[in-house]
Structure 1
Amino acid sequence: MPVIAVADGTGKLGCTVVDAIVEHGGYEVVVLARAASKAKQKELGVRVIGVDYKSVEALTETLENENVDTVIATFDSAAPPDPELALVKACDASSKTRRFIPNWWGIRYTAEVAAIFPIAASKIAVLETLEKTNLEFTTVINGFFADYYVPKIPSRMGPFTMALDIPNNVAAIPGTGDVPVAFTHTMDVAHFTASLLGLPEWPRESYIVGEKLTWNEFLAVVEEAKGSKFNVSYDPLEKLQKDEITELPGHKTMHAFVPKQVLDGLLAVFGILFEEGYFDLKPVKSMSTFKARTVQQMVKENFHDQPDSTQSTCDVANYLGSK
């Protein structure tokens, strides 16, 4: 039975990927973590192995001892690239490891994206290192996580206030709101990733898109589902480029995790990426037959019963990469 190792798999996205592979069946799953955790091991039902990401040699030894065939990286998005770069080198050195899925989980990260969103530079560095190895790899490209807008659908991510403050019937749309954005739920991303493991070969880019909607279209879907009209404003590109946004009620809760100035800058950056079309994914034909749920399906499911209006706490710590 092939062994799949999920690196940093004790985080929210990592746990979701582990759950999906276990449910899929046919693989032995282990989690690579900075420290072994009996609690996480009990929660996930798989072994959690403590590793030293500062040592390529120790990582290589672990991969070989565990007979790891494939590694899936789910590191914090804001983390420096050093642990993942070391893991790539260890996988290349391991005689047992053939495949690697890097920590992308979003859009195509290019030099143009990095100029707007500096975190992308780390992801590009990992990809450049992978290209120099003998490993087979694919990047999973899924757009923006839909979890933040459908809190009643099971998710480890939690809600996050960006553009639409659904509990408070308020919206601050980035740009014109007329540029398509790809939205996909993390559970669908995880099951898609599990489906990739059985493919005989991988494309360099593996796309999964639940649905592409403009922010204006997304707002209309939510308004219809809730039966409520939102108070709507728009943040033009010129405003976003100054790291300025319209503050929504839900943002105040997020300030408990991150200062307002930092949060405003982050949301402005995403607003620019939305408006300039970087989330308007244009996938080539996928080798996987996995089909994700659409936004409209998820919103209807979420609002079958009206959500609690107090459910506005945003998991900003997770979104920014904290565990």
Structure 2
Amino acid sequence: MVNVAIAGGTGGIGRAIAEAIKDDPRHQTIILSRKTLGNESVGLPIVEVDYQSVDALVAVLEKHQIHTVISTLALHIHGVGQAQLNLIEAANKSATTKRFVASSWAVRALEKYLNLLPHGYQHTAAYAALDKTGLEWTAFNLGWLLEYYGMPHVKTYVPQTTFVVDMASKRASIPGDGKQKMTFTYSRDVAKFVVAALDLPRWEKDTIVIGDKMTWEEFVKLAEEARGEKFTVVYDSVDKLKSGEITELPGQVAAYSYFPKEWVQSLFSVFGYWVTEGVFDLPEEKALNKKFPHIKVTTVKEMLDQSWKQK
């Protein structure tokens, strides 16, 4: 049994992890949050913290005798990276804290790839900081979240994101030639592996979990079967992606009311380039699935059929 703190556990993938761990009586878990009000439905104690104060964070970790910190902080938001750096420093100073899960929740890509992202520096800084600590740490590699293609018909706390395939509009803009393998994993399945990993005697820096793997061309075929008609498909060349451009999908246009168009285009063009480089093709032989074969994962076909057939 270990005491666990989830940073950012009131929403997103952190909420999925919180729900998975609260039913395990072996672990005592708290959620670290900037605010405590309005989040009682999570079902775990919520502790208000000041991410700007390392000393205050140390005090919270030691008060609750936290052994493992799981960070799910949203590093795509500018400035949040410093909050995680402070949490890393606090965990290293805490007399009780021994393990740290860095906020990644996609892939821990090589630095040359992370540096292409507008917020990539927040990830590289965290990994560099962790390497300088005495903490045992890991980052979960899961590819791309599968529920993005089941929304709004699937249970998730992750906000809508449209990448490559737009299920609602029956369109796709495929990076490169569409023949590179992708990894897709449902956040609720990831959460089960996170809880299971707490029992491992040793952590690698990369923890891999795999829900399903296939090419984007194969994915589109399953999407067409689920929706019952052909999709409009275009291919974005590597040169186009490297120039920071993508073929817009209706779901991405809708995001412009929340994020600048240039930021959205830049982000997804980088992810598209990563696809062509095989960054999302995670090695099955290293996957945590092999250590915990009893954990059932959701396949792409299951997600698409359950979410979209007869709709």
TM-score where L is the length of structure 2: 0.92
Cα shift readout 1:255-295 (whole Å, capped 9, x = no counterpart): 21122222222221111111121111125434541342221
| Alpha-carbon distance between aligned partners in 2 of 1:139 and 1:58, rounded to the nearest angstrom | 25
- 2:89 aligned residue: 89
Pairs within 5 Å for 1:46-195: 46-79=44-77, 80=79, 81-151=81-151, 152-195=153-196
Query: Residue 68 of structure 2: SS of its match in structure 1?
Result: strand
| Alpha-carbon distance between aligned partners in 2 of 1:30 and 1:253, rounded to the nearest angstrom | 35
- 1:225 aligned residue: 226
| Alpha-carbon distance between aligned partners in 1 of 2:23 and 2:179, rounded to the nearest angstrom | 38
Query: Residue 102 of structure 1: SS of its match in structure 2?
Result: strand
| Alpha-carbon distance between aligned partners in 1 of 2:133 and 2:246, rounded to the nearest angstrom | 42
More off after superposition, 73-82 vs 189-198 = 73-82
| Alpha-carbon distance between aligned partners in 2 of 1:247 and 1:24, rounded to the nearest angstrom | 43
Q: CA deviation at 1:304?
A: 4.2
Q: CA deviation at 1:30?
A: 0.5
Given the alignment of the two structures, is residue 22 of structure 1 paired with residue 22 of structure 2, yes or no? Answer: yes
TM-score where L is the length of structure 1: 0.89
Relative to structure 1, is the Cα distance of residues 9 and 174 closer, same or farther in structure 2, using a 3 angstrom cutoff? same
Query: Residue 127 of structure 2: SS of its match in structure 1?
Result: helix
- C-alpha contact 1:4 1:30 (8 A) present in aligned 2: yes
| Alpha-carbon distance between aligned partners in 1 of 2:283 and 2:220, rounded to the nearest angstrom | 22
Cα shift readout 1:188-244 (whole Å, capped 9, x = no counterpart): 111111111122222222100111111111001111122211111111111112222
In structure 1, list runs of 5 or more residues that go unmatched. 307-323
Q: CA deviation at 1:28?
A: 1.5
| Alpha-carbon distance between aligned partners in 2 of 1:267 and 1:114, rounded to the nearest angstrom | 13
Q: CA deviation at 1:305?
A: 3.9
The residue type equivalent to 2:56 in the other structure is A
The residue type equivalent to 2:44 in the other structure is V
The residue type equivalent to 1:39 in the other structure is G
| Alpha-carbon distance between aligned partners in 2 of 1:237 and 1:197, rounded to the nearest angstrom | 40
Relative to structure 1, is the Cα distance of residues 304 and 231 closer, same or farther in structure 2, using a 3 angstrom cutoff? closer
In structure 2, list runs of 5 or more residues that go unmatched. none
- C-alpha contact 2:210 2:287 (8 A) present in aligned 1: no
Relative to structure 1, is the Cα distance of residues 110 and 121 closer, same or farther in structure 2, using a 3 angstrom cutoff? farther
- C-alpha contact 1:109 1:123 (8 A) present in aligned 2: no
| Alpha-carbon distance between aligned partners in 1 of 2:211 and 2:255, rounded to the nearest angstrom | 27
The residue type equivalent to 1:256 in the other structure is S
- 2:6 aligned residue: 6
- C-alpha contact 2:147 2:303 (8 A) present in aligned 1: no
Identity of aligned residues (%): 34
C-alpha RMSD of matched pairs (Å): 1.7
Given the alignment of the two structures, is residue 45 of structure 1 paired with residue 37 of structure 2, yes or no? Answer: no
Query: Residue 168 of structure 1: SS of its match in structure 2?
Result: coil
Moved over 4 A (4+): none
The residue type equivalent to 1:45 in the other structure is G
| Alpha-carbon distance between aligned partners in 2 of 1:242 and 1:285, rounded to the nearest angstrom | 33
| Alpha-carbon distance between aligned partners in 2 of 1:132 and 1:255, rounded to the nearest angstrom | 39
Q: CA deviation at 1:7?
A: 0.9
The residue type equivalent to 1:209 in the other structure is I
| Alpha-carbon distance between aligned partners in 2 of 1:173 and 1:29, rounded to the nearest angstrom | 41
The residue type equivalent to 2:185 in the other structure is T
| Alpha-carbon distance between aligned partners in 1 of 2:123 and 2:262, rounded to the nearest angstrom | 25
Q: CA deviation at 1:136?
A: 1.5
- C-alpha contact 2:189 2:298 (8 A) present in aligned 1: yes
Given the alignment of the two structures, is residue 298 of structure 1 paired with residue 299 of structure 2, yes or no? Answer: no
Q: CA deviation at 1:300?
A: 2.2
| Alpha-carbon distance between aligned partners in 2 of 1:25 and 1:297, rounded to the nearest angstrom | 30
Cα shift readout 1:71-121 (whole Å, capped 9, x = no counterpart): 000111214321111111111111111111111111122221123224233
Cα shift readout 1:121-141 (whole Å, capped 9, x = no counterpart): 322221222122221212111
More off after superposition, 239-248 vs 281-290 = 281-290
| Alpha-carbon distance between aligned partners in 2 of 1:284 and 1:58, rounded to the nearest angstrom | 41
Q: CA deviation at 1:38?
A: 3.0
More off after superposition, 265-274 vs 286-295 = 286-295
